[in-house]
Structure 1
């Protein structure tokens, strides 16, 4: 049997571990204020009835009753305002508390997930959920849901009032509105309507993706003389999207026009029905009053009914957003050990390690590491090299527990890294990546990373990383804001900031993941000097493509297709004349290759060569 999901709003409070009791009080206040907004319709009818009956009977107007109904009108308005303010305050407070708790839950849970979660394309979706979706959830919880409940109660009250007055007139009003909403549903309901809507959404998504690609690839398109081809493809998608919009509007426009006409013209339906009833019941004073009341109350039914339809869609959206929140919270937290430090030094060991990014049931499953065993003694400078896709970066990321191994174990000081707390493991390891993330904060904060360190310690780390000089040349020195909205650093400058972070952290193990892959000549010397300071007395694992940068490594491990092919020093591996020697020869040929331009002459006969 299919499980019925709970109301989306209460799913929020349940997931956020907040009591819905106070929220129900706020919703009740809001609903009562909306219900009281319908009271003036009835009191106006009662006042008009007094004057009309007095006129027909030729008697004096009962001013006492008029004033009573006037005071009831004023009282309902004042009480409604008070309840609306109280309800809004309570609902907003509950929404803020619930979403604060929800945000903190997500942040706390994300802190316990493996780091691979953030490299798997999830971070953008989580960022959108934490910002845009949460803002929309607040609006639905604090405004839309209370209005929905209030609209439902008001609609029920108005329905009871209309049916108690005159059943045929009430049926006329609700039948007209029912027809209007059935007409509206016909535009989106059924296979044909759903297909048109699906085609429109699909073509819009394709157009957005193609336009982003067109803008991102404009340089290459122009360089290779293909802007017209790209523009033609984009134009074709624009035309396709335009066709779907036309099909959508052809279906929706007449239907929506009929829907709006019927809902706005509900008075006409009441008037026609009232005239028919009065034709067959001439002189019926009570019927005249009933028709008059229906004309007053009838339009009041439209607003809550339309709110119910529109807000119902918002609640469905809230349900989708809660699905996204629950999807993140369902990701299993990475289990932590209890060890707070390595007791036997910093020797690193890979013991028959296997790992894949795909599930075991995936027919295209490929092992990123396949039965890999390596031993890196404490204080050793080790390097991981090999063809692209060989598993080098995966090995480094597994050491930092971006993921957990599927088979085997990775140890530090003879202890399985899964036995450490994450804090203890991170105290053992520093990472310097090829792509350095610079936060939208000051230079000082980017190096200190919010650790309680002195300004002097930060400057010493910057000097060691060879970045103190360029920092001092910035507009506000160490207080200069970097990143979005601030000063932009070059790639080499950002790398030196990353090295300064690692020097300040001062861990016994350092992992360098292609840290100098795209360094320009101007920055390379400074980076190498900074690296030398960083690596003093450390156990180092360098992941590299450029083999000349690891010639002095104590131990070189060569990975290919997830397997360890060979290991040794640079000279030993060259003598073995296997994969490493092959890669070394290829890189040497590439480094020494020069463009030959013999036969090309400058103007005037001078050769380029």
Structure 2
């Protein structure tokens, strides 16, 4: 299957969205209905005022310049009009000038109110989408592309803003201009009006065909945008690996393929647009030519051509030409309106597709209050599979009926090969996922019965991959404890053995770490992450290979800090280096999701099983390193 045919992560959700643009107005337009209404009314008056000059010009030609008719204006009583020719002339001048002024004024009012409406909706949609993204389960991010989410937050919200602003303005302009011009033309000469407006039904049929043909192409184009965003983000985030493996040409090829897909999908849309827009302009032009031809023959021959009857004045003919020219632009603008409509429809489907994604990790309707949390953690017959539909198949389970407990002041360590289920077990404790069977309890209460923020605020987590936000070192230590004082930040850094290297930096705690903390080493980032947990002072610690990115000397210093920190709280730890969990109260050896050995360090060595074998390998490696260092010193 080609990349162009692959279903994007949001397609399944998008397809279930019903009448997305109507839902957009229903959800986000109601609270801004005042601005929207003012804008539409102002737009109506602006367009209506723009029709007065050609109408008054035609009246002036017939009544004032040629003297063929009496001075009369439709819908205006004759008693309100001046009686003399001079007064009538100045009256026409003032009304025409006033119509231009009114057009400018009401256009300005519309511009302000329409933008307040459109940008307000865009702002709220973007924030709501981000809020929804924050509420989604970790399972969503396991297989969804970040670029797709970025496309919704940026490109799709901007498409909606353009539709709510430009497309609605042009739609109102089209309705008022077409309706108003048709009314004026039928009032002046119904027969010639039919000739002029004959192209309108053809334009409607042409537009209906275009909308049906272009909609699936817009959907494919929006998918290609998300695919390219994902590819670019992944390539930039992995630039270290790319350069280290000399894979620049490979990444360029992948971005080229994603960009080519977007190019092809965009050209598929533009090919139809390039057919539609000239076609609309041609039909509008034919309306003008037909009007000029029939009206011109009518005046030059003095008789109505063909089946037409009656008379046509010079002034009415001038009005027809002006009005026909005025109708060309809004009719030709239908192409842009349809473009923006289809684009906004595809984007709103993606927006509400994201909004409609169900979340499994939610607060219970009647949460149990367990504060203050002491930190007693219990796993009881816990089984888990990342795909819940496969839980009946044992081969798909990540964890199999595991049970253990950890009390305040105790450390329980999980060791085992990669893929054994160690990190998954700790994520279940934080309720990043929910167990399939069994239970995870804190202080005797199932974590599913507790408010998620209450649970997670009681847990301090340090993972093997440390993430830092672009900001200062102090900001990153303070993250999650935003009101902490500068002194508290420094004390936490000292406890994590980070204070010394921080003070040696040019700006100390105000040093900016760069995106993802790229300006710091792996060990420095990890110590900042530990300092963050120290500052939060949670009753439960989860350490997922928390010293994996530091050297042996730093590891010993951090280990001392962790032991002091863990002295009076519950600690669940995963360690690659067994020396860091040697003093744990209980060590669980996991293999393929099962606990195959348990006990403290000495007990496991006495078993002479998997743990003892792993310890023997690592102890031998450490001894070799020490002898090598001693020889180097000699």
- TM-score, structure 2 as length reference: 0.77
Q: Report the CA distance between 1:390 and its aligned residue.
A: 2.5
Partner of 1:348: 377
Relative to structure 1, the CA distance from residue 280 to residue 111 in structure 2 (aligned partners, 3 Å threshold; closer, same or farther) is same
Partner of 2:295: 274
Give the 5 Å matches for 1:257-272. 257=278, 259-263=280-284, 266-272=287-293
In structure 2, which of residues 165, 180, 194 is the aligned counterpart of residue 157 of structure 1? Answer: 180
Deviates more, 1:160-169 or 1:347-356: 160-169
Relative to structure 1, the CA distance from residue 557 to residue 470 in structure 2 (aligned partners, 3 Å threshold; closer, same or farther) is same
Deviates more, 1:218-227 or 1:288-297: 218-227
Relative to structure 1, the CA distance from residue 475 to residue 155 in structure 2 (aligned partners, 3 Å threshold; closer, same or farther) is farther
In 1, Cα distance between equivalents of 2:250 and 2:148: 32
1:381-423 superposed Cα distances (whole Å, 9 cap, x missing partner): 1112223222222211111111222322111122222333333
1:545-594 superposed Cα distances (whole Å, 9 cap, x missing partner): 34443333221222333333332223433444544455556667887999
8 Å contact from structure 1 (residues 434, 516) kept in 2: yes
Q: Report the CA distance between 1:542 and its aligned residue.
A: 1.1
8 Å contact from structure 1 (residues 398, 404) kept in 2: yes
Give the 5 Å matches for 1:489-500. 489-500=520-531
Relative to structure 1, the CA distance from residue 246 to residue 432 in structure 2 (aligned partners, 3 Å threshold; closer, same or farther) is closer
Partner of 1:545: 576
In 2, Cα distance between equivalents of 1:516 and 1:482: 20
Q: Report the CA distance between 1:295 and its aligned residue.
A: 1.2
Partner of 1:508: 539
Partner of 1:296: 322
Relative to structure 1, the CA distance from residue 194 to residue 110 in structure 2 (aligned partners, 3 Å threshold; closer, same or farther) is closer
In structure 1, which of residues 410, 427, 432 is the aligned counterpart of residue 462 of structure 2? Answer: 432
Relative to structure 1, the CA distance from residue 156 to residue 590 in structure 2 (aligned partners, 3 Å threshold; closer, same or farther) is farther
8 Å contact from structure 1 (residues 43, 70) kept in 2: no
In 2, Cα distance between equivalents of 1:346 and 1:19: 48
In 2, Cα distance between equivalents of 1:95 and 1:247: 28
Q: Report the CA distance between 1:461 and its aligned residue.
A: 0.8
In 1, Cα distance between equivalents of 2:474 and 2:520: 14
In 2, Cα distance between equivalents of 1:584 and 1:275: 102
Residue 134 of structure 1: SS of its match in structure 2? helix
In 1, Cα distance between equivalents of 2:295 and 2:122: 51
Q: How many residues align?
A: 589
Partner of 1:29: 42
Relative to structure 1, the CA distance from residue 141 to residue 9 in structure 2 (aligned partners, 3 Å threshold; closer, same or farther) is farther
In 2, Cα distance between equivalents of 1:254 and 1:138: 26
8 Å contact from structure 2 (residues 540, 569) kept in 1: yes
Partner of 1:47: 60
Relative to structure 1, the CA distance from residue 102 to residue 504 in structure 2 (aligned partners, 3 Å threshold; closer, same or farther) is same
Partner of 1:67: 90
Give the 5 Å matches for 1:263-412. 263=284, 266-278=287-299, 281-282=302-303, 286-330=312-356, 331-332=358-359, 334-336=362-364, 338-342=367-371, 345-360=374-389, 366-412=396-442
1:76 equivalenced with 2:99 (yes/no): yes
Deviates more, 1:417-426 or 1:517-526: 517-526
Deviates more, 1:400-409 or 1:207-216: 207-216
Q: Report the CA distance between 1:509 and its aligned residue.
A: 0.9
Relative to structure 1, the CA distance from residue 356 to residue 461 in structure 2 (aligned partners, 3 Å threshold; closer, same or farther) is same
Residue 345 of structure 1: SS of its match in structure 2? coil
8 Å contact from structure 1 (residues 465, 533) kept in 2: no
Relative to structure 1, the CA distance from residue 590 to residue 266 in structure 2 (aligned partners, 3 Å threshold; closer, same or farther) is farther
1:13-65 superposed Cα distances (whole Å, 9 cap, x missing partner): 525762635532332222322332233232233233334533899xx993333
1:90-111 superposed Cα distances (whole Å, 9 cap, x missing partner): 4444445555555565565556
1:328-378 superposed Cα distances (whole Å, 9 cap, x missing partner): 443346124544435683221011222332242799993333322222232
In 2, Cα distance between equivalents of 1:307 and 1:418: 55
Give the 5 Å matches for 1:416-431. 416-431=446-461
In 1, Cα distance between equivalents of 2:167 and 2:272: 29
8 Å contact from structure 2 (residues 151, 226) kept in 1: no
Give the 5 Å matches for 1:557-576. 557-576=588-607
Residue 394 of structure 1: SS of its match in structure 2? helix
In 1, Cα distance between equivalents of 2:93 and 2:141: 64
In structure 1, stretches of 5+ residues that fail to align are: 595-609
In 1, Cα distance between equivalents of 2:483 and 2:242: 49
Relative to structure 1, the CA distance from residue 100 to residue 574 in structure 2 (aligned partners, 3 Å threshold; closer, same or farther) is same
In 1, Cα distance between equivalents of 2:255 and 2:435: 44
1:129 equivalenced with 2:155 (yes/no): no
In structure 1, which of residues 434, 443, 462 is the aligned counterpart of residue 473 of structure 2? Answer: 443
Partner of 1:452: 483
Partner of 1:170: 193
8 Å contact from structure 2 (residues 16, 353) kept in 1: no
In 2, Cα distance between equivalents of 1:510 and 1:406: 24
In structure 2, which of residues 143, 154, 167 is the aligned counterpart of residue 144 of structure 1? Answer: 167
In 1, Cα distance between equivalents of 2:252 and 2:459: 49
Partner of 1:605: none
In 2, Cα distance between equivalents of 1:389 and 1:509: 24
Relative to structure 1, the CA distance from residue 548 to residue 469 in structure 2 (aligned partners, 3 Å threshold; closer, same or farther) is closer
Residue 397 of structure 1: SS of its match in structure 2? helix
Q: Report the CA distance between 1:257 and its aligned residue.
A: 4.9
Relative to structure 1, the CA distance from residue 296 to residue 342 in structure 2 (aligned partners, 3 Å threshold; closer, same or farther) is closer
In structure 2, stretches of 5+ residues that fail to align are: 1-14, 71-82, 305-309, 626-634
8 Å contact from structure 1 (residues 13, 19) kept in 2: no
In 1, Cα distance between equivalents of 2:193 and 2:44: 23
Q: Report the CA distance between 1:145 and its aligned residue.
A: 2.0
In 2, Cα distance between equivalents of 1:200 and 1:109: 24
Relative to structure 1, the CA distance from residue 74 to residue 344 in structure 2 (aligned partners, 3 Å threshold; closer, same or farther) is closer
1:519 equivalenced with 2:519 (yes/no): no
In 1, Cα distance between equivalents of 2:513 and 2:494: 19
In 1, Cα distance between equivalents of 2:259 and 2:139: 37
CA RMSD between the two structures? 4.5
